[in-house]
Structure 1
């Protein structure tokens, strides 16, 4: 976790509390040292965040203070909650955890809408979690390879139960409503190939990187599917 992420989490934690929270408690929640918390509190104060408290007693946002409130209407809130719920249900565990954190942040900045947020998330917009373990298997590894443009070698089993091994350039993950697929450039075929994630039996990093171009990229692959 870099400093910017840590400061944002610390600020979210302070916003969600009605009473003072000690540096030790914050350090435990953020998995850092108390010394780091003291430095981060100072950094937030220098940036203009109205924090009251002191070491050994605890910290909280000053009473009556507001921090750039975000204004959402009901339709916008429903869209946000639905997006979070879809990621929680259909994304991999890493994305699901990030979605949980995003929902916590939404709740923290909208304390007066807690009942409405709960009714949307738990009673109105329900997204079934169907076989996520299989459909998102290897997803976190694939996302990392895509970001770092790393070639990978996969063991793949097609719909006819035939196995093959390919060295590919992972370009992007696409969700078609039922399954996640990996869009890639296949070195064996010298062409685009899509692989269902739930049919990838194993993968490993080849130790090589690749460079996308106008002719080899996710944008180029998806161009025929986009409406003109």
Structure 2
């Protein structure tokens, strides 16, 4: 398979992922800039590689979730994005998440073709060391609580030094150059609140699920903050 064809198949996959309903071959051919005959050959190639593409000519096609891209199909820009993202996490996140970023990048490099693996080692995209503030809380535990949708009991010190006890429904963590912020619904304040992790004196998981789903809380918070969902 030539590089040009690999890139073309990657584009086709990316286009198909945008559709939740069957889409015609003519539409796919127009969006990927190929002839209908070439489009049919490309779909057959992807199906042979394991892509779960259902449908047929005249009826439309749909890509089912679960297909993993062969390593050769990463573009150079995608490799650079993976390297930069992994390096950022390794510098900015807590030690457990940082180690995960390093391990993930090593696993990716191990299965890449030699020329792409060398791009990882030789990447000139660098991340500066952060101006860290010490976290008293266990970020790994907070991430686990977010995934499990468990309530947290916090002892939190605000910018004026006042200490309060809160029960919070955590649903997101924000990572910035100098601080990290846990976002959650605060039962005490009856609203969304942002808690700097360096001001969390203690955080204890209750082991109990909060009454709403995390995606719903995230969507409502984004709407309240005027933030668009990532595209």
TM beyond 0.5: yes
Identify the residue that residue 119 of structure 2 maps to in structure 1.
116
Deviation at 1:173, TM superposition (A): 1.0
Identify the residue that residue 226 of structure 1 maps to in structure 2.
227
Contact 2:84–2:125 at 8 Å: present in 1 too?
Answer: yes
Rounded to whole Å, the distance in 1 between the matches of 2:81 and 2:211 is 35
Identify the residue that residue 157 of structure 1 maps to in structure 2.
157
Identify the residue that residue 181 of structure 2 maps to in structure 1.
181
Identify the residue that residue 145 of structure 2 maps to in structure 1.
145
Identify the residue that residue 192 of structure 2 maps to in structure 1.
192
Rounded to whole Å, the distance in 1 between the matches of 2:108 and 2:167 is 41
User: What is the TM-score normalised by the length of structure 1?
Assistant: 0.62
Alignment size in residue pairs: 159
Residues 68-109 of structure 1: CA distance to partner in whole angstroms, max 9, x if unpaired? 443223222111100100111111222111111111122112
Which runs of no fewer than 5 residues in structure 2 stay unpaired? 1-68
Q: Secondary structure at the match of 2:208?
A: strand
**Which structure 2 residues correspond to residues 47-126 of structure 1 after superposition, within 5 A?**
68-113=70-115, 114-120=117-123, 124-126=124-126
Runs (4+) of structure 1 moved beyond 4 Å?
213-216
Rounded to whole Å, the distance in 1 between the matches of 2:178 and 2:217 is 23
Rounded to whole Å, the distance in 1 between the matches of 2:130 and 2:93 is 11
Give me the CA root mean square deviation. Answer: 2.6
Which runs of no fewer than 5 residues in structure 1 stay unpaired? 1-66
Q: Closer, same or farther in 2 for the Cα pair 1:157/1:214, shift >3 Å?
A: closer
